[in-house]
């Protein structure tokens, strides 16, 4: 499968030394599992997708298509080897067991119990290969009453409380990214890497079970902190959902939007100066108490020019302000940002002379 541009998955763009020795068997479909194993592939591991005939990945049919294959499938299955055979039959099972014996990681995304029913549960697999890291990526906690309940990303967001938090306008919004699926993907990646490190000490693999509803719930660190303090922040104006004058979106004259995230006082003061609102700087000591006044005045200023003009005017100023880009604009902008200067993580500075 050829490689496509615009896929900086997980921010990981280079393989890691020695990872090419690690072999991954991927039994997952759609987005969560394939995204996780794509990240592992990007790290340098060898990933093999295993599918049953007539029970393939529906992502291949998602529109739009590239070369007859769903674009979503392309995005999360690049550089992987693909095998399709009936491992429920003796010959196919014999072939698969040989592959399991040679693998380091197995990831599956079926409902709990299915792999056991076909003889590929963790207990069966570890008898063949005690060193294998076996990851089950599921929707709900696998030991609870909802273990086999059907669901997708939207359900997991809803059950985890993310959707119910709403925004500062007391509205529940439909997101544009499958954040529950992908939080589960990255939790699986983290768990797999940790298990590989543990294996160096114990010589044994382990079973990992990641529930996407729990993974996205754990991402709600800030609102959960409010809940721990005795208040439910759902459907209330908060600094992190648009209720803060220095952390919200503003309309520009061309119908576009600008994103302001000047939470720290220093950024806020610099922004007020840049917008010609220096007379409001005293209100920045308690922005929440003066949210209506500050937001109103800042909105008036941003409405006097277009998004790109504001980006030009604020260029070089330490204000935490960016334009809100379309997906195409974002791809182009990130490409420029990546090419404009070497990553600081890769820049090697010469040591200072001690003379």
What's the rounded Cα separation, in Å, for the pair 309 and 25?
Answer: 50
DSSP code of 350?
A: P
Q: Residue 181: helix, strand or coil by DSSP?
A: helix
Both tokens assigned to 218 = 């754990």
Query: Token pair 């979106």 is at which residue?
Result: 249
Q: Are 47 and 135 in contact (CB under 8 A)?
A: no
Cα 238 from Cα 308, distance rounded (Å): 28
- Are the C-beta atoms of 205 and 132 separated by less than 8 Å? yes
Q: What is the CA radius of gyration of the chain?
A: 25
Catalytic residue among 152, 167, 226, 290: 152
Distance CA 45, CA 48 (A): 10
| Distant-in-sequence, close-in-space partners of 272: CB < 8 Å, separation ≥ 6 | 278, 280, 281, 284
Look at residue 137 and give its three-state secondary structure.
strand
Clarify whether 152 is annotated catalytic: yes
The conformation of residue 215, written as its DSSP 8-state character, comes to H
**Greatest CA span in the chain, whole angstroms?**
80
At residue 73, the 3 state secondary structure works out as helix
Distance CA 297, CA 163 (A): 30
Catalytic residue (choose from 26, 153, 181, 244):
181
The pairing of strands 105-108 and 65-66 is unpaired
Pairing assessment for the beta strands 257-261 and 247-251 based on DSSP bridges: antiparallel
Number of H-type helices and E-type strands within the chain: 14, 11
Residue 180 CA to residue 161 CA, distance in Å, equals: 11
Rounded (10°) angle between helices 179-202 and 153-160: 90
Residues that are catalytic: 152, 181
């Amino acid at each position: 499968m050829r490689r496509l541009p615009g896929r900086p998955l997980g921010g990981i763009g280079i393989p890691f030394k020695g990872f090419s020795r690690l072999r991954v068997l991927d039994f997952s479909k759609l987005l969560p599992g394939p995204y996780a194993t794509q990240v592992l592939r990007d790290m340098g591991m060898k990933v093999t997708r295993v599918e049953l005939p007539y029970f393939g990945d529906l992502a291949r049919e998602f529109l739009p298509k590239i070369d007859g294959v769903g674009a979503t499938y392309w995005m999360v299955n690049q550089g992987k080897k693909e095998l399709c055979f009936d491992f429920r039959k003796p010959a196919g099972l014999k072939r698969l067991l040989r592959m399991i014996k040679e693998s380091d990681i197995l990831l599956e995304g079926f409902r709990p119990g299915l792999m056991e029913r076909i003889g590929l549960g963790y207990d069966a697999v570890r008898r063949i290969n005690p060193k294998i890291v076996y990851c089950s990526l599921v929707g709900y906690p696998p030991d609870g009453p909802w273990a086999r309940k059907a669901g997708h990303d939207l359900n997991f967001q809803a059950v985890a409380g993310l959707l119910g938090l709403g925004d500062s306008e007391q509205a529940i919004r439909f997101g544009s990214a499958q954040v529950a699926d992908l939080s589960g993907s990255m939790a699986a990646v983290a768990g797999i890497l940790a298990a590989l490190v543990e294996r160096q000490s114990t010589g044994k693999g382990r079973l990992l079970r990641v529930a996407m509803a729990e993974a996205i719930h754990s991402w709600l660190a800030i609102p959960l902190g409010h809940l721990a303090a005795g208040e439910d922040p759902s459907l209330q104006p908060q600094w992190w959902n648009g209720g803060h004058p220095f952390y919200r979106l503003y309309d520009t004259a061309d119908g576009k939007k600008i994103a302001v995230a000047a939470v720290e006082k220093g950024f806020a003061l610099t922004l007020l100066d840049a917008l010609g609102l220096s007379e409001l700087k005293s209100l920045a000591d308690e922005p929440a108490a003066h949210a209506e006044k500050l937001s109103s005045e800042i909105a008036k200023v941003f409405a006097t020019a277009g998004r790109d003009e504001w980006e030009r005017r604020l260029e070089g100023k330490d204000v935490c302000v960016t334009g809100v880009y379309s997906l195409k604009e974002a791809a182009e902008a990130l490409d420029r940002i990546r090419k404009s200067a070497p990553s600081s993580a890769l820049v090697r500075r010469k040591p200072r002379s001690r003379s």
